[in-house]
Amino acid sequence: MDLTKVEILNQDIDPDGKTPSYYRMLVDKTSFKYITIDPGIYEVDDLCFPPILLELLPPFPNGTWNCGRISQTSEGPPFFAETTQETLPSITPPGTQSPTPTSPLESGSVSEPTSTRRLLHNSRTPSSPNSLGLKGHGIGPEFLGYLTEEGRVIGYLIAFVEGRHATISDLLACEVIVRRLHGLGVVHGDLNKHNFLISERGVVLIDFETAKKSGDGYGMEREVRGLEGQLLDESGNGGTVVEV
């Protein structure tokens, strides 16, 4: 297969090079391939730079497959150790909302239409702001729709939010938004300070990958009590702030 017809859409790379690297690729602008590369085959810098990596990859096998693993023995070049056709997981949209088909140009990118700015989120978990019942409650970014890949729902679109990360001075406002979330029976699960954006409309809570429906009142109160420590945290947990 001509690798000039292969595009890398998403990548998940271990910066230490000790665990496998994962890629989502588009072939001939028609089929998606999920490629695992065993550790130690390529330099981390090459794994991170698609133009170089595509030159180093072994030829793609023919046939029908969507998941493959690249390996290497001490005696030869990298090769596809296995290829399989898997039924990949999908988000299940609540209700009857129609998913929005995704295109290669949208995948893993930011789009700026004339009416609003949108962010594409490729989800690894079934949770989204809409599936959790948050729409219309002023908690997270505006939910715009689901995206599909070959018939399965792989992510969702949310409106871009302009704002800064929360500080300890925003503690009370953050507590209000978290209690509003808890009032809907949802535990967030990752309330680090980088998941609070202070925007013109007020506090916006983001990143619902670990959020889940729960009736655990103790767990909810523990989230609220932990807010002060999260807003004072300087460890970089959850992200970093770059001064410009």
Query: Per residue in 115-163, pLDDT tens?
Result: 344 555 555 554 556 667 888 899 999 888 888 888 888 887 888 999 9
Segment 49-60 shows an average pLDDT of 96
DSSP 173: H
220 burial level (CB within 10 Å; 0-12, 13-18, 19+): buried
Residue 89: its pLDDT value, please?
A: 87
Is 120 a domain residue? Answer: yes
Q: Are residues 134 and 181 both part of a single domain?
A: no
Residue whose C-alpha is closest to residue 30's, from 5, 1, 58: 5
Position 240 in a domain: no
In this predicted model, which residue has the larger pLDDT, 133 or 96? Answer: 133
More reliable by pLDDT, 45 or 111: 45
Do 155 and 171 share a domain, yes or no?
no
Rounded Cα gap, residues 48 and 69, in angstroms: 17
Per-residue confidence band for 107, with pLDDT thresholds at 50, 70 and 90:
very low
Is residue 68 situated within a structural domain? yes
Domain boundary among the residues 118, 142, 159 is at 159
Domain annotation covers residue 136: yes
C-alpha torsion sign, points 103, 108, 110, 116 = positive
The predicted model gives 219-230 an average pLDDT of 96
Q: Are residues 8 and 80 in the same domain?
A: yes
Q: State which residues form the domain around 22.
A: 3-84
Is-contact 47 39, C-beta < 8 A? Answer: no
Do residue 147 and residue 216 come from a single domain?
no
- Inform me whether the pLDDT recorded for 176 exceeds 90: yes
Judged by average pLDDT, the poorest of 46-55, 103-112, 139-148, 209-218 is: 103-112
Answer yes or no: do 22 and 36 share one domain.
Answer: yes
C-alpha to C-alpha distance for 70 and 62, rounded to whole angstroms: 15
End residue of a domain, out of 159, 182, 203: 159
Q: Is 93 inside a domain boundary?
A: no
**Residue closest to 132 by CA, chosen among 192, 210, 204:** 210
pLDDT average, residue stretch 82-110: 65
- Residue 72 and residue 106 share a domain: no
The total number of structural domains in the chain stands at: 3
Least confident of 15-24, 32-41, 86-95: 86-95
